[in-house]
Structure 1
């Protein structure tokens, strides 16, 4: 018996399967997909480089080298073939760009946090509404060209949380991430891994490039971004993360993130 020939996908086809976007013959392929709070995408990698972005909600992106919290005002650049996992910190409307190798040549060769301007946000949303095989010579092609122009001018933000490779230290860091408001001193944490405070301080600096205090503060900033992006009140976040006052937390957050905590909360909720 002869087999029926499989039909080619229609030009207007959309997909929520990332595999469908890896070899589509276009410089940029944009995939829309929504996820519920708490959903986890297991560690994986893609043939194409990826801009991981959400128009609403917050997600945590992690590789073997670091962790990034991604609120709606930010995106994570993920080079091709880098293994990463994603956890949704709230309901997320993810809008992902997959860039072909030639289109991604001017982008960083390592993971980076990038700002997303209102213009870039609208361009990304429009790109996810295009058919997978959009007309490169028509209006869709101009949208994609403008996206690439906008990406070319972006400056990365220092919002990575480096993760150590040493297993004992990595386990301790994971405990700190699970309890970011824990106020224990460096010495107290050192005793949990049978080390001296001096030894732990040296390990932190060697493995992450940050002091213990700087690493913990960065962890708290990223945790705050996630909670604020999910709509948690600023006062609640400040107290949960171990700060005695909202003003102290807000001052720290503004120095580290370059914006007030309220900037990271959903626009519809206000303060």
Structure 2
């Protein structure tokens, strides 16, 4: 399904709200899209992978990429569609971006702003700010190889699954050495790194829903809350409690 929106000179801003559990069916746009979660958590899924968008974060979606969106909690979605000649450089694929306080206010202003000189200034500032955003490690790439895909799909259903790569090799009919090479070749990361990334994307909605670190660690196959927190801090830069507290402060500010 192709969905298009009319442009201003540079971009169009649209606001939509969704209930917990809502699903936006697969579709694509001829415009590039910046999808922002003012409240709630969204999961973006394409044929190439999945991206988790926590509150106060955004995901960049290039033109013509078919995608679907799953809502976790009540979601206030705020979206920008950019005219092709104004797409920032360096954003060739889908990625999660850290939204600055300035960008958040500019997005909200763009939705409410009338046309005219003020709107033009907001548009220019938006484009400059988007181009400078920090990329966040909240992506989960999917492989094309059928053996890797079988492993990844099984882990999506059970992120806590304890199988080693040797165990998976027996199930899919390939040596652990072959699978390790394919993970590096297709996904640019090891099996362990991919599984950690999966568990991180599974942890975020549970943390935001108020589950304890101890419970999440046990549900995702970690031997202790300390081990889970160490993984989380290594990938995100903050421990789980600090990360959630920071998100809540950003939403209130």
| Shorter-chain TM-score above 0.5 | yes
Counterpart contact for 1:43–1:83, Cα < 8 Å: yes
Residue 105 of structure 1, CA deviation: 4.2
Aligned to 1:10: none
Q: CA 1:261 to 1:66, structure 2 compared with 1: closer, same or farther past 3 Å?
A: same
Which residue, out of 134, 145, 156, partners 2:124? Answer: 145
Counterpart contact for 2:232–2:240, Cα < 8 Å: yes
Aligned to 1:5: none
When the two structures are aligned, how many residues end up with a matched partner? 246
Larger mean CA deviation between 21-30 and 146-155 belongs to: 21-30
Counterpart contact for 1:70–1:226, Cα < 8 Å: no
User: Is 1:256 the equivalent of 2:239?
Assistant: no
Q: CA 1:217 to 1:61, structure 2 compared with 1: closer, same or farther past 3 Å?
A: same
Tell me the alpha carbon deviations over residues 95-132 of structure 1, each in whole angstroms, 9 at most, x when there is no partner. Answer: 111111122143512222211112211221222223xx
| Distance (whole Å) between structure 2 residues aligned to residue 240 and residue 152 of structure 1 | 38
Aligned to 1:7: none
| Distance (whole Å) between structure 2 residues aligned to residue 49 and residue 203 of structure 1 | 31
| Distance (whole Å) between structure 1 residues aligned to residue 129 and residue 216 of structure 2 | 33
Give the structure with the larger strand fraction: 2
User: Is 1:103 the equivalent of 2:86?
Assistant: yes
Aligned to 1:28: 11
User: Is 1:213 the equivalent of 2:189?
Assistant: no
| Distance (whole Å) between structure 2 residues aligned to residue 162 and residue 52 of structure 1 | 19
Alignment of 1:170-209 (within 5 A): 170-209=149-188
- TM normalised by structure 2 equals 0.88
Which residue, out of 220, 225, 231, partners 1:241? Answer: 220
Aligned to 2:104: 121
| Partner SS for 2:172 | coil
In the alignment, structure 1 segments of 5+ residues that lack a partner are: 1-17
| Distance (whole Å) between structure 2 residues aligned to residue 203 and residue 252 of structure 1 | 23
User: Is 1:165 the equivalent of 2:136?
Assistant: no
Alignment of 1:42-53 (within 5 A): 42-53=25-36
Q: CA 1:99 to 1:84, structure 2 compared with 1: closer, same or farther past 3 Å?
A: same
Aligned to 2:76: 93
| Distance (whole Å) between structure 2 residues aligned to residue 264 and residue 73 of structure 1 | 11
Q: CA 1:91 to 1:191, structure 2 compared with 1: closer, same or farther past 3 Å?
A: farther
| Distance (whole Å) between structure 2 residues aligned to residue 172 and residue 111 of structure 1 | 23
Counterpart contact for 1:22–1:47, Cα < 8 Å: no
In the alignment, structure 2 segments of 5+ residues that lack a partner are: none
| Partner SS for 1:161 | strand
Counterpart contact for 2:88–2:131, Cα < 8 Å: no
Superposed CA RMSD: 2.1
- TM normalised by structure 1 equals 0.83
Give the structure with the larger helix fraction: 2
Which residue, out of 15, 36, 46, partners 1:63? Answer: 46
Counterpart contact for 2:46–2:68, Cα < 8 Å: yes
